[in-house]
Amino acid sequence: QVQLVESGGGLVQAGGSLRLSCAPSGSGFNINRMGWYRQAPGKQRELVAAIRMRSGGITGYADSVKDRFTISRDNAKNTVYLQMNSLKPEDTAVYYCAATRTSYGPYDFWGQGTQVTVSP
């Protein structure tokens, strides 16, 4: 079983930056894809960014965060990062890390979530 441990959330003013980290603990990683989701109060969980841990590290982003957020990976540590720049109050949400061993389809493993709050 894979457990995902997130860190790096917090409170920041609009225009500021934060970096989230997510690393697996446990055994049998063999992770193929990792991603970051977020859920704001009263809204559905949405995919923010995703990355393939192999295949050249192909990435994808939600339109709302393109050119502001960057997802990256450290394969040696099986760790994924989300660098968030030019943060806006509408980025306020609980951010969840997700991982899967599959190439396509839903994520199998989830972190506990980390709160990101952006003040005006």
pLDDT of 75 reads 82
With a cut of 70, which residues of the chain have pLDDT below it?
Answer: 27-28
Single-letter code of the amino acid located at 16? G
- The pLDDT of residue 55 is 73
Contact 93, 87 (CB under 8 A): no
> Alpha-carbon distance 82 to 89, whole Å?
17
Q: How many CA atoms lie within 13 A of 21 on its CB side?
A: 8
Q: 3-state class of 55 per DSSP?
A: helix
Q: What is the pLDDT of residue 30?
A: 84
